[in-house]
Amino acid sequence: MPNSDLLPSLLFKINENQQALEAAIMELTLWVEQRGSSEVGGNVRGALDTIRSNEKFINMTLAVFMAPE
């Protein structure tokens, strides 16, 4: 298998890890906010917004790589 064939799988796994980290961070954010630290929660939510906006591009790119030729 050529190395270039591994790229789509690698990108998919990286994206999957990113989504898992996003979910875990959101759980921690909710926990922090419930304990009265809304400023920290707001900062984390801002960072998560960046992840979400980049996720759209990543998913679109993965679709191109995974599309049959």
Given a contact cutoff of 8 angstroms between Cβ atoms, the answer to whether 48 and 40 are in contact is no
pLDDT at site 34: 94
pLDDT at site 69: 67
Of 68, 69, 32, 65, the closest CA to residue 14 belongs to 65
Look at residue 36 and give its three-state secondary structure.
coil
Tokens encoding 3: 């190395």
Cα separation of 57 and 28, whole Å? 25
Tokens encoding 35: 């304990």
- pLDDT tens by residue, 4-25: 678 878 888 888 998 899 999 9
pLDDT at site 1: 59
pLDDT > 70 fraction of the chain, expressed in percent and rounded: 93
pLDDT at site 24: 95
